[in-house]
């Protein structure tokens, strides 16, 4: 476990220790090197660290010949591309065929909300995303909201829809972040864990898709599923929806 002392890391350690078919062999956190020695024979590593560290961790895991399940946010097309290249280079050099699974959200409610939103997107003139999280979160907008907005944008483009209508002329800072042309609003509030609302509008009607993770245990079935499945999926997989056959 990388990030073992963190909120998610501690929860994952407990979940792995409670699973009869899994064994927790190493707990690493900031300042620990990621090497075959420190990984202590692990077949799969789980990374819940920080956006500034996760890419280097994944490259170190690939060099160590260990499959990776990554929940840390902050990934871009470029950083994912570097992982794809690294995996291909290792395989071409006769190294192990490794799997890396990066998912911005392992909660079933969140994965389903994103899937439903991607399906609905083509039918609505307007679409916006609101994500709501605990105030100790270091990145905004959330990885889940970015993934959701990207899927909505792709579905709108496929359907030939233009931008959502918006007559704003001033005060753009109040209109949230622009993720692939979809407005994303980030709320940080003590008492929250992780929540998302996807709003769709047409003349005279609205569809709201909402999911709530009230406790970090909600992410554990998805994390454990990914740990069990990642070695059977060589290369890079992005999103738990692919493992759940929802994509």
Ligand X SMILES: O=C(O)C1=N[C@H](C(=O)O)CCC1
Ligand Y SMILES: NC(=O)c1ccc[n+]([C@@H]2O[C@H](COP(=O)([O-])OP(=O)(O)OC[C@H]3O[C@@H](n4cnc5c(N)ncnc54)[C@H](O)[C@@H]3O)[C@@H](O)[C@H]2O)c1
- What residues act catalytically? 133, 137
CB 37 within 8 A of CB 64: no
CB 206 within 8 A of CB 200: yes
**Residue indicated by tokens 């990642």:** 230
Q: Does 200 bind ligand Y (CB under 6 A)?
A: no
Number of residues that bind ligand Y (CB under 6 A): 26
Site string for ligand Y, 34-73 (x = CB under 6 A): --------------xxxx-x---x-------------xxx
Return d(Cα 96, Cα 158) in angstroms, integer. 37
SS3 184: strand
- Using CB positions, name the residue nearest to ligand Y: 6
140 binds, among ligand Y, ligand X, none (CB under 5 to 8 A by kind): none
Choice between 194 and 240, CB closer to ligand X: 194
Q: Which of 27, 32, 15, 4 is nearest to 227 (CA)?
A: 15
158 binds, among ligand X, ligand Y, none (CB under 5 to 8 A by kind): none
SS3 161: coil
Q: Which residues lie near ligand Y (CB under 6 A)?
A: 2-3, 5-9, 28-30, 48-51, 53, 57, 71-73, 103-107, 143, 219
């Amino acid at each position: 476990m990388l990030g073992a002392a963190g909120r998610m890391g501690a929860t994952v350690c407990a979940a792995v220790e409670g699973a009869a078919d899994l064994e927790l062999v190493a707990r690493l956190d900031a300042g620990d090197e990621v090497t075959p020695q420190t990984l202590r024979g692990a077949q799969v590593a789980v990374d819940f660290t920080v956006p500034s560290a996760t890419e280097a961790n994944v490259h170190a895991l690939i060099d160590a010949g260990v499959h990776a399940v990554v929940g840390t946010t902050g990934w871009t097309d470029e950083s994912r591309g570097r992982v794809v290249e690294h995996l291909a280079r290792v395989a071409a050099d006769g190294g192990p065929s490794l799997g890396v699974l990066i998912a911005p959200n392992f909660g079933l409610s969140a994965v389903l909300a994103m899937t439903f939103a991607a399906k609905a997107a083509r039918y609505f003139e307007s679409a916006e995303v609101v994500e709501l999280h605990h105030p100790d979160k270091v990145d905004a907008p959330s990885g889940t909201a970015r993934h959701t907005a990207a899927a909505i944008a792709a579905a709108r483009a496929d359907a030939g829809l233009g931008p959502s209508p918006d007559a704003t002329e001033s005060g753009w800072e109040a209109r949230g972040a622009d993720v692939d042309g979809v407005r994303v609003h980030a709320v940080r509030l003590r008492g929250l864990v992780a929540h998302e609302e996807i709003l769709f509008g047409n003349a005279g009607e609205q569809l709201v898709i909402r999911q709530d993770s009230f406790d970090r245990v909600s992410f554990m079935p998805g994390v454990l599923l990914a740990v069990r499945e990642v070695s059977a999926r060589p290369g890079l997989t992005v999103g738990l929806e692919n493992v759940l056959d929802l994509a």
